[in-house]
């Protein structure tokens, strides 16, 4: 039996929205190629579930630096060079084992680790990188690290080309997410199944570090005017939000969810989305035509959100209290419709299926 050509997808712990698996599923569904995902736990000896490592990931996300500096900081956790060589060796072994047509990287760290392996071990493989963001800055990573790039918009492409990327191999294809749009009848059925009253539903996606409790309290204070669905990314945060919701059960309908796979189904039945900087949640909301209120406490996120705000695609909240006024702006039908129109126009041409078709096209391989 003839072996299908392979696309090797390299990712790391800081990816957004399970993007590696979404792309892999789309590639596999075409039937012409196989997709293999190699995550950071399989190639990086530094992955630990320690408080220090979680702090380090957060630090690096707040202060974007060039790819070389990212890999230097992470490899610097150990002074022994054999650890660095071990990471490069494991990546090189994966390339040899699967013999892919190319390696697709979906996070800056994965790209930096692959570039390091190519430099140290001499791994010979073509690299295509997905920029899972709305802007590009030369300090994110050098533009000549990969042979090809997949970007969300033409502004990112122009910036990459100006920094040295090949224009012919820099493709504008949106972000690789998909979420099914429900009909009005399907939406009504789903809302009833989830015990959501008929009043507007607000989806809240915030972390403990970003005052999720404070934001939930503000939404609860709006009484029965709205329902609230909160995604909690940790058990600790879920417990705190549940306590807050139980106290307010007479004033507001609150649902707490803790599984990432529930996000899409609740996004589909929500009316307004309030989220920290998360390109996957923001882009899916735009695909659904849902008004978005977003916030960020680090420069990379602020830059992306400002870019979207300037184009009338989202509203930005500088402080938690700002979300209330912005929310009521969106609860006006005319305002919500204007934003939805712009969001849908931006995302309707792109899909993860189109991306999969491009990745498996003969001209790319």
71-98 pLDDT, tens digit per residue, is 455 444 444 444 556 888 899 999 999 9
Q: Parallel, antiparallel, or unpaired for β 148-151 and 127-130?
A: parallel
pLDDT for the residue 230: 93
- Three-state secondary structure readout of the chain: CCCCCEEEEECCCCCCCCHHHHHHHHHHHHCCCEEEEECHHHHCCCCCCCHHHHHHHHHHHHCCCCHHHHHHHHHCCCCCHHHHHHHHHHHHHHHHHHCCCEEEECCHHHHHHHHHHHHHCCCCCCEEEECCCCCCCCCCCCCCCCCEEEECCHHHHHHHHHHCCCHHHEEECCCCCCCCCCCHHHHHHHHHHCCCCCCCEEEEECCHHHCHHHHHHHHHCCHHHCEEEEECCCHHHHHHHHHHHHHCCCCCEEEEECCHHHHHHHHHHCCEEEEECCHHHHHHHHHHCCCEEEECCCHHHHHHHHHHHHCCCCEECCCCCHHHHHHHHHCCHHHHHHHHHHHHHHHCCCCHHHHHHHHCCCCCC
Terminal Cα-to-Cα distance of the chain (whole angstroms): 21
| Per-residue confidence band for 148, with pLDDT thresholds at 50, 70 and 90 | very high
pLDDT for the residue 207: 80
CB-CB contact of 276 with 205 (8 Å):
yes
Q: What residues contact residue 198 under an 8 Å CB cut-off, 6+ apart? A: 191
Q: What is the mean pLDDT of the chain?
A: 86
- Mean pLDDT, residues 98-106 taken together: 95
Is residue 168 scored above 80 in pLDDT?
yes
| Per-residue confidence band for 51, with pLDDT thresholds at 50, 70 and 90 | low
Is residue 52 scored above 80 in pLDDT?
no
Tokens of 160: 């990459």
Output the pTM of the full model.
0.87
Residue with tokens 């230097």: 72
Angle at which helices 352-359 and 19-30 cross, to 10°: 60
Highest mean pLDDT pick, 29-33, 250-254, 359-363 = 29-33
Q: Comparing 109-118, 148-157, 281-290, which segment has the lowest mean pLDDT?
A: 109-118
Is residue 134 scored above 80 in pLDDT?
yes
202-260 pLDDT, tens digit per residue, is 999 988 766 888 999 899 888 888 889 999 988 888 888 888 888 766 666 888 998 88
């Amino acid at each position: 039996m003839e072996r299908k050509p392979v696309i090797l997808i390299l990712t790391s712990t800081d990816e957004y929205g399970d993007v590696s698996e979404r792309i892999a599923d789309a590639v596999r569904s075409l039937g012409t190629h196989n997709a293999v995902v190699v995550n950071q736990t399989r190639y990086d000896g530094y992955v630990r579930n320690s408080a220090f490592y979680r702090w380090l990931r957060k630090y690096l996300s707040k202060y974007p630096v060039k790819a070389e500096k990212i890999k230097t900081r992470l490899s610097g956790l150990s002074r022994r060079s054999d650890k660095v060589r071990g990471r490069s060796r494991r990546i090189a072994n994966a390339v040899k084992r699967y013999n892919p047509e190319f390696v697709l990287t979906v996070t800056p760290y994965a790209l930096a680790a692959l570039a390091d392996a190519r430099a140290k071990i001499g791994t010979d493989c073509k690299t295509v990188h997905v920029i899972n963001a709305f802007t590009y800055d030369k300090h994110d990573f050098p533009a000549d690290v990969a042979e090809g790039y997949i970007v969300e918009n033409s502004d990112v492409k122009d910036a990459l080309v100006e920094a040295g990327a090949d224009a012919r191999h820099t493709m504008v294809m949106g972000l690789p997410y998909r979420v099914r749009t429900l009909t009005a009848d399907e939406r009504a059925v789903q809302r009833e199944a989830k015990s959501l009253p008929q009043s507007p539903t607000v989806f809240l996606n915030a972390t403990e570090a970003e005052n999720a409790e404070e934001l939930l309290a503000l939404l609860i204070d709006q009484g029965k005017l709205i329902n609230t669905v909160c995604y909690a990314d940790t058990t600790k945060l879920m417990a705190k939000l549940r306590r807050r919701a139980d106290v307010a059960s007479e004033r507001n309908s609150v649902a707490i969810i803790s599984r990432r796979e529930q996000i899409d189904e609740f996004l589909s039945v929500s009316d307004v989305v309030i989220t920290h900087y998360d390109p996957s949640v923001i882009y899916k909301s735009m695909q659904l035509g849902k008004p978005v209120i977003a916030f960020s406490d680090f420069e990379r996120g602020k830059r992306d959100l400002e870019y979207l705000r300037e184009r009338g695609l989202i509203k930005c909240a500088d402080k938690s209290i700002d979300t209330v006024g912005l929310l009521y702006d969106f609860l006006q039908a005319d305002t919500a419709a204007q934003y939805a129109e712009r969001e849908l126009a931006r995302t309707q041409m792109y899909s993860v299926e189109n991306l999969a078709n491009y990745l498996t096209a003969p001209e790319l391989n």
